[in-house]
A = this chain, B = another copy of it.
Amino acid sequence: MLKIYGNRQSGNCNKVEYTAILVGVSYDYQVLDFQKDLKTQWYLNINPVGKMPAIDDDGFILFESGAICKYICDKKSSSLYPKELKQRALVDQWIDFSINHVGVSISKVAFNRIFAPMFGMPVDENSLKEGLQWLERYLPIVDTQLGKSIFLAGNELSLADITLLSVLEYSDKAKVELSSYKSLTAWRNKLLLMDFYKKVHSA
């Protein structure tokens, strides 16, 4: 059986679990402790980066949440990650956009507004300001895109939506104001009501 190593405080781990639920794969979820587990030798043997998530699928070990989600989808030929060349390319495009632009920006904001205060680390005001400025550049792009189609890469739910949703996992706690982005907010509110989301957040 698929084993997921993760923690439901992590957006990347939740992305993998959302995908497994949507695709209909059974899994064991092994909760990792952020402080205790990640630097232990047994976990570094699974993921040498010492980050979560990772999976062990009957002996096949994989890390990097994006690669894991694609693997889970392709193993089940799920429409969440379409096979058709151009449709897959557009899903890949919006996955990469969500991670490389929105995700990198939100990480800066979340680190300085949530995690630095939590762990008694210094707040980097430059980094915080940069993250917020970048979000003002990138969020309008997804908002415009979500005004054109029901989901991020067209009118079907895809891994691109699951990726963006998980990237936005910390946005409320990090006080990233999304309400002025009407299409993005409507899209997000729709996803937050879906069973896969509720299942993970009530686990």
Contacts and interface: CB of A to CB of B under 8 A. Distances in A.
A19 to B, nearest CB: 13
Which size class do A's interface residues fall under? 35 or more
A63 B145 CA distance: 14
Interface in A83-133: 85-86, 88-90, 92-93, 95-97, 99-101, 104, 124, 126-127
B85 A75 contact: yes
B48 A64 contact: no
Stoichiometry, copies per complex: 2
A128 to B, nearest CB: 12
Nearest to A65: B96
Contacts of A68: 89
A180 to B, nearest CB: 18
Given A62-B89, A92-B64, A92-B70, A100 B99 contact: yes
A74 interface: yes
Contacts of A70: 88-89, 92
Given A64-B96, A70-B89, A104-B104, 6 more contacts: A48-B144, A62-B93, A67-B92, A71-B89, A74-B88, A126-B127
A-B pairs, 4 with minimum CB distance: A67-B92, A64-B96, A71-B89, A67-B93
